[in-house]
Amino acid sequence: MQSTKDIFSYRRYWAESFGSAPVLPMSRKEMDRLGWESCDIIIVSGDAYVDHPSFGMALIGRLLESQGFRVGVIAQPDWHSAEPFRQLGRPNLFFGITAGNMDSMVNRYTAERRIRSNDAYTPGEQGGRRPDRSVIVYAQRVREAFSGVPVVIGGIEASLRRIAHYDYWSDKVRRSILPDSKADLLIYGNAERAVVELAHRLAAGESVAEIGDIRGTAVMRQTLPEGWTEIDSTRIDEPGSVDAHPDPYAWQGDCAVNAGTGGAVVAFAKRPRQLDRATSVIRLPAFEQVADDPVLYAHASRVFHLETNPGNARALVQRHGTRDLWLNPPPIPLTTPELDRLYEFPYTRMPHPVYHNEKIAAWEMIRFSIPIMRGCFGGCTFCSITEHEGRIIQSRSEASVVREIETIRDSAPGFTGVISDLGGPTANMYRLSCKDEKIEKACRRLSCVYPEICNNLGTDHSHLTRLYRRARAVPGIKMVNISSGLRYDLAVRDPEYVRELVTHHVGGYLKIAPEHTEQAPLELMMKPGIGAYERFKRMFDRFSREAGKTQYLIPYFIAAHPGTSDRDMLNLALWLKENGFRPDQVQAFLPTPLALASAMYHTGRNPLRKIVRKSALVAVPSGLRQRRLHKAFLRYHDPDNWPLIREALKTMGRTDLIGQSSRHLVPAKQPVGQQATKKATRNFSRSSGPSERSGKHTSR
């Protein structure tokens, strides 16, 4: 990637003389003990404060502390008044606001829009401790508490809502969260570079209104800055007449050629030449346009995703009413030395003492796990990881990971010698990258592994294999488990890695996510065919036998993803039955903001291809009735689901699958005592009309 300023090369702020706090303060009393009369920066978060690098507020807070700033934390404040936001006083530089490690709506509601009863990021898993759309609410309360203080929003909720976006919970297109929150600046993605530069520039006396040029940030503007050239997105990827495109990656226009392969890297159609990329901005259709026109929404989604490579992305602008939302290009990924220092700050790795040892489930899950990398180049359309963390893999050094293992061993209360995970967004992308930096900078592919693994992608897992061996050799370590999801199509390229993983790092079960068996939904997910899973399973079983272990793969599947028909789900159910899988908990597709699959769900169009007015519609199982049926197919073995499945099989002309033998999917009769089934059947039969997303896309 391109060169940029090291985040640890700034001159430290004068308040460094106070030193590091044992834990970032959450009260005026703690500030007094530290000798602080004020905070320079206050972080407001929807999560409980856990001083662990897997929690965003701790990681950013400790980073700012390392720059010499005094950082306080207001965690899960009562938002019903402004008073709780005054508890640490007025910050000298800015308030930083985040919903926490999850989008507050995803945290609060299920895929069926039901309220969740628990919150893993709250002491005692108590629900209701954060408001819906937390970033907006917190920002409003901060403004009430202290007028005139700069307000900066960030974290995954702000990141995924940085432009006009479809909101599943209100079933409409909402504005960018920046004007809705009335914040001064939005930081998206991994925030380290942006937040450090912002803090030092504010400390040097710049006004927040003057700071609009930091990568990885968004601001509101009245006019285009002097010297910039505007490009209309509908001219470079015009949603006009139908053009033939045989596959999702065959875009027309200038393509960077894969070295030695003759293959093409995805490029924009008809991209204007001779323009200075650093001073040209692409104008997306305005909020008001994408809110009213599904074709323009899908087009904007496509253009947005093609401008996410830090090596070649341009700035984006989108009109909201009378002002422009200005989105600077994505942040430059951190280097290995920067990432090492970031994860080796003096975290206590514990919840703040104010919680008095109350259980925080999210912390319990990751307290003995170690992040070894960031980013994901898989590009799965239903996943928002790449929209937030990017596609460039950022990896820690082996030495840094080993030092963290030793720190956990020597200081973490309750540690029994078992590291629960070495991973990240995926288990096995550690130190994988493009073989050619120039090609990486020019590449416009949405995925490095779909439709096939790119010939320019390095798939050698030897660095990861060596890390595993070194980690489990640390004295006092009994076991190093791998719990992050495995990208199996990459793993099979390196049998020695699979052998190492299966022999030493699987505690009986390994999570894996083929997501589906049928080609139609898999293509819209940008996932490999089921054959890749079956190749990995054969390898997994062989190495397990050779190690003398009985181990199992736990496959995960998605119900009701765009492009999935009832027949696709039936075929998946038959595959599950044939292979002896009886899923307990199943996942229905949840349209998260900005994800490509969410654009498919909302518009019925496929932004993996050029968007044109007459493009074929994507089948979207959006109604409650159909979504319940698709989930029922995944749990074909549950008697409560049999009436739904029987009804569907009759409609589909597959009554041959109803009966008592092993070749049948469901029995013809309901077991005695299944009273809940009658209620389920009634609910299923009544589901229709306006409750099913207001009848959208009924032509499908």
Q: pLDDT tens across 629-649, in order?
A: 999 999 999 999 999 999 999
Written as six digits, the tokens of 290 are 């994408």
Residue whose structure tokens are 């049999």: 642
Which pLDDT tens digit goes with each residue over 127-143? 999 999 999 999 999 99
pLDDT on residue 678: 42
pLDDT confidence bin for 316, thresholds 50/70/90? very high
pLDDT confidence bin for 672, thresholds 50/70/90? confident
The percentage of residues in the chain with a pLDDT greater than 90, rounded to a whole number, is: 84
Helix/strand number for the chain, H first, E second: 25, 21
Long-range contacts of 686-689 (CB under 8 A, 24+ apart): 687/623, 687/624, 687/625, 687/628, 688/623, 688/625
HEC letters along 425-449? CCCCCCCCCECCHHHHHHCCCCCCC
Helix axes 566-578, 642-651, angle to 10 degrees: 120
pLDDT surpassing 70 at residue 675: no
pLDDT on residue 241: 44
Mean pLDDT of the chain: 90
pLDDT confidence bin for 103, thresholds 50/70/90? very high
pLDDT confidence bin for 482, thresholds 50/70/90? very high
Pick from 178-187, 268-277, 554-563: least confident: 268-277
In single-letter form, the type of residue at position 92 comes to N
pLDDT surpassing 60 at residue 268: no
- The SS3 assignment for 195 reads helix
pLDDT confidence bin for 211, thresholds 50/70/90? very high
Written as six digits, the tokens of 399 are 């030495």
Q: Give the residue, 395 or 682, on which the prediction is more confident.
A: 395
pLDDT on residue 355: 96
pLDDT on residue 386: 85
pLDDT surpassing 90 at residue 243: no
pLDDT confidence bin for 615, thresholds 50/70/90? confident
Inter-residue contact 207 to 201 (CB < 8 Å):
no
pLDDT on residue 527: 96
pLDDT on residue 4: 85
C-alpha to C-alpha distance for 378 and 528, rounded to whole angstroms: 10
pLDDT on residue 651: 96
C-alpha to C-alpha distance for 68 and 18, rounded to whole angstroms: 8
How many residues belong to the chain?
Answer: 700
Helix axes 192-203, 56-66, angle to 10 degrees: 40
Which pLDDT tens digit goes with each residue over 356-373? 989 999 999 999 999 999
pLDDT confidence bin for 174, thresholds 50/70/90? very high
- What would the mean pLDDT of 253-280 be, rounded to a whole number? 46
HEC letters along 483-549? CCCECHHHHCCCHHHHHHHHHHCCCCEEEEEEECCCHHHHHHHCCCCHHHHHHHHHHHHHHHHHCCC
Pick from 243-257, 260-274, 339-353, 418-432: least confident: 243-257
pLDDT surpassing 60 at residue 689: no
pLDDT surpassing 90 at residue 688: no
- The SS3 assignment for 394 reads strand
Inter-residue contact 151 to 220 (CB < 8 Å):
no
pLDDT confidence bin for 3, thresholds 50/70/90? low
pLDDT on residue 252: 32
pLDDT confidence bin for 208, thresholds 50/70/90? very high
Question: What is this structure's pTM?
Answer: 0.90
In single-letter form, the type of residue at position 223 comes to T
Domain boundaries, the chain: 1-213+333-350, 222-331, 600-700
Q: What dihedral angle (degrees, nearest 10) is formed by the CA atoms of 140, 143, 144, 145?
A: 120
Q: Domain 1-213+333-350, what fold?
A: Rossmann fold (3.40.50)
HEC letters along 570-583? HHHHHHHHHCCCCC
Which pLDDT tens digit goes with each residue over 322-333? 999 999 999 999
Q: Give the residue, 691 or 374, on which the prediction is more confident.
A: 374
C-alpha to C-alpha distance for 152 and 397, rounded to whole angstroms: 31
Query: Pairing between strand 185-187 and 217-221?
Result: antiparallel
Which pLDDT tens digit goes with each residue over 447-480? 999 999 999 999 999 999 999 999 999 999 999 9
The candidate with the shortest Cα–Cα distance to 278, out of 332, 318, 315, is 315
The percentage of residues in the chain with a pLDDT greater than 70, rounded to a whole number, is: 90
pLDDT on residue 273: 52
Distance between alpha carbon 71 and the CA centroid of its chain, in Å?
27
- The partner residues of 515 in beta bridges, in order of sequence, read 557
Which pLDDT tens digit goes with each residue over 61-89? 999 999 999 999 999 999 999 999 999 99
Inter-residue contact 580 to 558 (CB < 8 Å):
no
Query: Hey, how many other C-beta atoms are within 10 angstroms of the C-beta on 440?
Result: 22
pLDDT on residue 581: 93
pLDDT confidence bin for 671, thresholds 50/70/90? confident
Sorted by sequence, the CB contacts under 8 Å of residue 48 that are 6+ apart come out as 75, 76, 121, 122, 123, 351, 352, 355, 360
pLDDT on residue 297: 97
pLDDT confidence bin for 685, thresholds 50/70/90? very low
pLDDT on residue 238: 75
- What would the mean pLDDT of 220-227 be, rounded to a whole number? 92
Inter-residue contact 600 to 618 (CB < 8 Å):
yes
- The partner residues of 317 in beta bridges, in order of sequence, read 283, 326
